[in-house]
Amino acid sequence: MLGSFQPQAGYKTGEKPAVLQSQADSQLPSILWLECSDCRIPASNISGLHPNDILTHRNVGNIISPLDISTSAVIEFAVAHLAVKHVVICGHSECMGMQSAMALKRVGGTLDTWLAPLRAIRQQLSNELSYLQDDGAREMLIAERNVEDGVAALLANVTIQEHIASRNLQVHGYMLDAPSGRIRDLGLGPKSSILTAIANPPHEIIRGNYAQLIFEEDGTATMTAK
């Protein structure tokens, strides 16, 4: 298995010899990206962003909980020590976490405990879900509410609050359509009212190999293919 990584490293070094060395020298990501563990939807693959542009943290169902010390540590590291400019929580369609939330059967001891917040969302949305005929639409509604709750949890994080106040850190909630790779901004997070042209340009573009993320002055963002 370890041998399979050597051709990949050799290919990257041969294509751009400075890439691996620059990654080894420092990490200066602009974005902390919080996403699901689903192997189909890694942000760096979808966006084509340079590995040094984006710090990714993943868990099943992209659940943000103040009780999860792993996620909290990553947030503090990214925001307070790496000074990322954007924190993104990104849900996605066809998520097995949302499917498990819709199911009434056990999926495992640890998983059942971890997915409890998603099942709580299902209960909260029971009336709205009853009007939807399609399972995919039900799962998407739960996924969107999970992102909304995640943004609320991020905005309640003391480290994030401090850096919103001191340097206009931006928080975003996205949904990814897995089949198409399209990302939709849910319009969540604080709307910036204090922007300085030097420290926080009002129109920031982070370019990848296949797409680019465009962060607007009002706190919204879009991803467009290149």
Task: Please state the residue numbers annotated as binding site for Zn(2+).
Answer: 36, 38, 92, 95
Beta bridge partners of 89: 34, 173
CA-to-CA distance for 50 and 15, rounded, in angstroms?
Answer: 14
- Cα dihedral value 126, 129, 131, 134, nearest 10: -150
Helix (H, G, I), strand (E, B) or coil at 90: strand
Contact 30, 84 (CB under 8 A): yes
Look up residue 186 and give its two tokens. 């849910």
Binding residues: 36, 38, 92, 95
Please compute, for residue 144, the number of CA atoms within 13 A of its CA located in the half-sphere on the CB side: 16
Contact 149, 59 (CB under 8 A): no
Contact 154, 163 (CB under 8 A): no
CA-to-CA distance for 215 and 185, rounded, in angstroms?
Answer: 11
